[in-house]
Structure 1
């Protein structure tokens, strides 16, 4: 790993001068600072976040296009918290992060927020591309760099990077977890099924999760039917009504339920309300939502897969800064690990709020 001494030798200056430039203190020329930047890049030297502002005189502005924080059970609030953490760290170096929220279930709201960001004096954007059909045309016409989080649109030319899960693989993992949960419940000769809840606002990302889940279940437990229940509104009472209507129509309870996003908490509250027989149905879904962990603690939700939304938001802003301000190369794809959360380990995860 390169040191300040290595930087000094490469730039032909003293260690003290390198230290002053890295920590932005004392007097030095812009020409010397440029020599240090060049040496740092060549030696792949990365100072900590508090040493990243090498004599910046320009204010850098980045935009974030993100669904409203309360939507999808509060999932986007977690993404926003990571963004704000990065924004606070970068603020002392003259950087400004502006958030343009939109209604994730409204095409007009999404397009309006994106055009507002594009028409501002931004130098780059962090975008949750959960409405890819609405976002594609405006993004094809811009020369601004942008990073996607949560959902990817891989073929756009100006896409700098993507941060998120391998959504299909996460669906396959969810299928494996479900098969383990129901293996003792499946009975030969009986018509049994797993309920797949397709949440509102489905996109490429959620579609791949469901497709991965179906792929695994069809391969491993072909005798189990998979029935899809489509929810139209991101609202807990709507989910309860749809689940109640479904049960009245079908009578027999499913032997398992898979939810493709954080709507799993809406399903959990319905099962708890309906009593012990419902509560015993295996349930798999996504994301820790602060304030709703009791469904995991009580075992109503058996498995949660988390994609670390706070980390996605934080890393997205830092990568924009590295790419635009420091002119560093950044990874084209950052695939988040697939963490599995249960009642036995939930207390070990960041974001957990006991009580």
Structure 2
């Protein structure tokens, strides 16, 4: 059945196209009897307005906000979702949609709070953000809910919040994938070291989820029976990493594999290479250039990719579809994870 047009409704109602347009878009005065007749015909024929065309012709600006850790040489991973946000924003400029970008220091909860306060002051039409800090992110979502601003999560999600959508991988299962890879390559009695580069793991949502997933794999199906030793290193400074690893490896001579829950796995690879620990299995996240370098050299065995560009790009598009096009949104869009080794690393070089 062909879609009914405004022209068709006008013919059936015996009125002009302009009259139908005024009724359907609630512009101008139309006699009550005529208005009811037009609405009845539209409803009976399941008329759907062309919302994209309406958005194109609208002169009203919509401003979204994004909140991510600041992309730096140390945290270059965050440049990829930012690139996705930027490209989506460029596409949507024709609809008078703009994205104000906000950034916070990765390990600084107070800076995160400061940036959320700036966003609330802006009162955007929607927010895309990475809920890195659990406690502070919960408070932010409560404030967004109170004033009716929809929000989309990337990288990880707060399950019990009133979020519009989530775009990203499943952190818990990402940890299980890492565990499965290590389980194939490690002796049954070999110990495994889990490294979190975070100063408060319980409050860093995505790293905590990956750690829980990793450990759960060995509790219910893993072949490895060795110790699972978990450490937190509060910063990614090379000297501190060296100090912590020197200590733990001296105390635990049977460690045969290392799982790093974040994207700075290259920092661990650098340490292993400098100390000639060539037989240690090393698995981490994200095919950023520094990680690819060590993957190519064999110091990293596997990387788990999670499509960060698509996370940023799709998150902005979901806000647009909800706010301007009034589309029903798929709440959870889980992106596939990639298992990357040195046989396929060239696919991920920038």
TM-score (norm 2): 0.82
* Partner residue, 1:97: 99
Q: CA separation in 1, counterparts of 2:333 and 2:51?
A: 18
* Partner residue, 2:132: 130
Deviations 1:60-95 (CA, angstroms, capped at 9, x unpaired) = 100011111127631111111111111111123322
* Partner residue, 1:153: 158
Once the two structures are TM-superposed, the CA of residue 156 in structure 1 deviates from its matched residue by 1.7
Match of 2:289, SS state, is: coil
Once the two structures are TM-superposed, the CA of residue 138 in structure 1 deviates from its matched residue by 3.2
Contact 2:88–2:313 under 8 Å retained in 1: yes
* Partner residue, 1:311: 310
Once the two structures are TM-superposed, the CA of residue 242 in structure 1 deviates from its matched residue by 1.8
* Partner residue, 2:326: 327
Which range moves more in the overlay, 301-310 or 222-231? 222-231
Deviations 1:144-164 (CA, angstroms, capped at 9, x unpaired) = 11111112112123x111112
* Partner residue, 1:204: 205
Q: CA separation in 1, counterparts of 2:74 and 2:322?
A: 30
Q: CA 1:42–1:113 in 2, change beyond 3 Å: closer, same or farther?
A: farther
Deviations 1:184-203 (CA, angstroms, capped at 9, x unpaired) = x346xxxx311111221532
Q: CA separation in 2, counterparts of 1:293 and 1:46?
A: 44
Match of 2:164, SS state, is: strand
Contact 1:319–1:330 under 8 Å retained in 2: yes
The structure having more radius of gyration, on CA atoms, is 2
Q: CA 1:298–1:31 in 2, change beyond 3 Å: closer, same or farther?
A: farther
Deviations 1:23-57 (CA, angstroms, capped at 9, x unpaired) = xxxx9x9659959xx99x9779998xxx7943121
Q: CA separation in 2, counterparts of 1:282 and 1:32?
A: 68
Once the two structures are TM-superposed, the CA of residue 305 in structure 1 deviates from its matched residue by 0.8
Match of 2:333, SS state, is: strand
Q: CA 1:125–1:339 in 2, change beyond 3 Å: closer, same or farther?
A: same
Contact 1:72–1:262 under 8 Å retained in 2: no
Residues 1:174 and 2:172 aligned together? no
Match of 1:305, SS state, is: strand
Once the two structures are TM-superposed, the CA of residue 307 in structure 1 deviates from its matched residue by 1.0
Contact 1:195–1:254 under 8 Å retained in 2: yes
Q: CA 1:72–1:172 in 2, change beyond 3 Å: closer, same or farther?
A: farther
Which range moves more in the overlay, 287-296 or 323-332? 287-296
| Number of corresponding residues | 318
* Partner residue, 1:336: 335
1:1-355 matches, within 5 Å, as: 6-7=2-3, 9-12=4-7, 31=22, 53-70=55-72, 73-142=75-144, 143-157=148-162, 159-182=163-186, 185-186=187-188, 192-201=190-199, 202=201, 203-218=204-219, 219-250=221-252, 252=253, 254-275=255-276, 278-349=277-348, 352-353=349-350
Structure 1: gaps (5+ residues) = 15-26
Q: CA separation in 1, counterparts of 2:23 and 2:236?
A: 55
